[in-house]
Structure 1
C-alpha cells in the first residue's frame, strides 16, 4: 500500500512553538533566545517543520497554520523551557476584608515583574496566572497546564497595622515544598513594605530554583546532547561547591557551551565567575593571568548583553585583584540598578565598598544581601565583607565576630582567617592572633601573606598595615 501523503505529519510540541513563532515574524535569534537554544538548532527544526507540513517558505507556513486552525498541531500541554520556569499565582487575601485585595495583588504583581527581569528564568505572565485566582487548584495540574517546573503561591493577612505575608515555592513535578518563608511588617508605608517583601522573596527563590533545577550528577554532564543552557546551568551549579575539581568540571562544560554558541552572554559570564573564583580561592597556578582572563570575560559578557545584571556583577568582582576598585563599584552599581532584587550584586557591592574604606555603605549593602537571601550557599562572602568593613572602621571586636562567622561557614576562606588575625593584632591580642594563624595553616597549609594580593585594599598604606599584622602574628611571607 502506498503511503498517504495527503495529511501533513504532526509536529512535536517544540516544533509547534518554533513554527508559530517563526510564522508570526520572530527571527531565528529571537526564537533561540526565548527557548534557550542555538540559532542553528532553530534552523534545523524549521527544516523538519517545512518537510512535515509540505511548505517551502515563511508565507506558506503562515498560511498553512492559519488555514489549518491548529488542527494538525497536537493539543498538548506546553513543554517546559530549558531554563528554570515559574508561575506565580495570585497571593490569597486572608484578611477577610475585600479592600485589602490591592495589597495581595500588588505583592504578586511586584514579584512577577521582579522575577521577569532575570535572564535566567522563564516567568509566566500575570494575565495568565491570575486566571486561577480564587480557585482551589492542584499545583501539579497548574504546572502541567502552564508548562513550568515551579509554582509560587502565598497569602497575605492583616491584623490592625500589622501585615503577615507567607510564600512557598512548590516543585510542580513532585508537589513537594522547595522553599517557604514568612514575613511580618508594619503597614506604615505600604510601598516600602511591598518592596522589601518582593526583594526578599525574589532573592531567595532565585537561589533555590537554580540549585534545585539541576538534579543530575556531575558524571552525567558528559552527555553530548546537552544544550548551551543546560551546560551553563550545570557550570553555575558547580560554582557553589568552591572546590578546584568542581571548577575544572565547570570550565569544561562552559568551553563546550561556547563552542556551540560563541556569543552566549550567560556562558561567558559564568566562565568569568569560574576564573575569578579559581584565582580568589587560591586554585590558580598563575593567579594574575587567571584574574585577567576573568576580567576580560566579564567585560565581554556585558558587551554581549548590556541588560544582564549578572554580567555586570561578574565584571565588577573581576576587577578587585587588578586594583580596579572604582570600575568595580560602577559595574556593581549598574547590576543593582538593572535588578534591585539581585542579592549577589548587593553583597559584592558591599565588599567593593569595604575594600575602598566606605565601611557604613559596605555594611548596609551586605545587610540587604543577607536579609534578602539568608540561605545563600555563598553567604560566607557576606560575613567576611561585614568583617572587613568593621576592620577598616577600627571596630576590631565586631570584625572578629563576623570573621569567625565566615570561617564557620567556609573554613577554607582565607580572607576570613586574615581578617580575624589582623583584628586580634590591632586589638592588642597577639596570642589570639597567633592562634588564628595556626588554625588557618591547619586548614590551608600553603597560605602566606602574599595571598592577600588576590583581594587587595585600595589604600596602599592600609594594605601595608594589614600585611604587617599578618606578619606579626607569624603568617609566612611567601
Structure 2
C-alpha cells in the first residue's frame, strides 16, 4: 500500500471512531467540562442528568430531561450546553408527538438553540440543535445551513450529516438526502434514535425511486425500534412499490395492533411535499390501510 493510501485509510478509521464514540459519551452522566466549565457545577450536573434521560427515549424521560435543561438554563444562562440540549429535547418532544403545545415548544427550542449558537459558535452541537429545531419549525433552508456549519466545524460529526440529510429530504430533495444520511449512519451505528434516521433514509430512497434500498433501510429501522409505527408505514410502502403485497398487508396488520401515535414525526415533510404525502397514502391504501 502506498503512503497516500495508508493515510487515507487512517483518516477513514479515525472518522468512524470519532463518529461512533462521540454519541456514546453523551449517553453517560460523565460528560466532563474540562476547559469549558463556566464555574457553575450545579448547572453542569443538571445537564448531565438531562442527557441521560434524553437518551432513554420515551415521553416521560424526554419531559424530565426538558425540566432539567430548563433549570440548568436558569441557573447558568451562559452555559451553552444547557441551551443546546433544551433545543434538542424540545425538537424531540414535538417530533414524537409528546407536546400539548407544539408551536410553543418548538419556539422555545429554536430560541434555546439560537442562544447556544451565540454562546458557543464553534460547538457543532449548538448548530445541530438549531438544525433539528428548524426542521420541526418548517424552516428547512435554515436547517440545511445549520447542519452545514456543524459539519464544517467537525467533519466527523454524525448528527450534522444526519440533520443535513433530513433537511434535504424535508425540503424536497430526496436524492440529495441519501448520501449525508448514509454517511451519518455509518459514523454512528449505535444511536438509540437510529430508528428515526434509518426510516428517514428509507423514505429518501423510496421517493428517489429506489424502493429496494428503501426496504433494506426500513428493516434496519425496525431492528432498532420494533414498536415505532411509522417504520411499518414506510415498510408497507416499500413492499407495495416492489409488488410484494402479502408482506405489505402484514405490516398493515401490525400497524393496527400498535398504539396510534399522538403526533406525526413526518408532518413537516408532508406539509412541504404534498405529492409525497399523496404517494404514501396511495401505497398504504393498496396495502389495505384505511385512515
TM-score, normalised relative to structure 1: 0.54
Deviations, residues 396-442 of structure 1 (Å, cap 9, x unaligned): 12212211220221124343222212223333444433321322342
SS at match of 1:376: coil
Aligned to 1:20: none
Aligned to 1:305: 120
SS at match of 1:374: coil
SS at match of 1:456: helix
User: Shift of the alpha carbon at 1:281?
Assistant: 1.4
Tell which has more relative contact order, 1 or 2 (C-alpha 8 A, sep 6+). 2
Aligned to 1:267: 82
User: Shift of the alpha carbon at 1:393?
Assistant: 1.0
Aligned to 1:407: 222
User: Shift of the alpha carbon at 1:385?
Assistant: 2.7
User: Shift of the alpha carbon at 1:448?
Assistant: 8.0
Q: Give the number of equivalent residue pairs.
A: 283
Larger-gyration structure (1/2): 1
Question: Is contact 1:269–1:298 with CA below 8 Å preserved after alignment?
Answer: yes
Aligned to 1:233: 48
2:132 is aligned with 1:317: yes
Aligned to 2:20: 204
SS at match of 2:270: coil
User: Shift of the alpha carbon at 1:242?
Assistant: 1.0
Please point out which of 347, 351, 354 is paired with 2:166: 351
Deviations, residues 321-379 of structure 1 (Å, cap 9, x unaligned): 33222211111011101111211111221222233443444222223223322333333
Deviations, residues 189-234 of structure 1 (Å, cap 9, x unaligned): 344333222211222222233334449xxxxxxxxx9621121122
SS at match of 1:258: helix
User: Shift of the alpha carbon at 1:287?
Assistant: 3.0
2:278 is aligned with 1:464: yes
Question: Is contact 1:321–1:455 with CA below 8 Å preserved after alignment?
Answer: no
Q: Compared with structure 1, are the counterparts of its residues 448 and 426 closer, same or farther at alpha carbon in structure 2 (3 Å cutoff)?
A: farther
Q: Which has the larger share of strand?
A: 1
Q: Compared with structure 1, are the counterparts of its residues 292 and 463 closer, same or farther at alpha carbon in structure 2 (3 Å cutoff)?
A: farther
Following the alignment from structure 1 to structure 2, what is the Cα–Cα distance between the partners of residues 315 and 451? Answer: 17
Following the alignment from structure 1 to structure 2, what is the Cα–Cα distance between the partners of residues 315 and 297? Answer: 8
CA RMSD of aligned residues (A): 2.7
Question: Is contact 1:204–1:375 with CA below 8 Å preserved after alignment?
Answer: yes
TM-score, normalised relative to structure 2: 0.85
For structure 2, which runs of at least 5 residues remain unmatched after alignment? 32-39
Aligned to 1:341: 156
For structure 1, which runs of at least 5 residues remain unmatched after alignment? 1-160, 162-185, 216-224
Aligned to 1:13: none
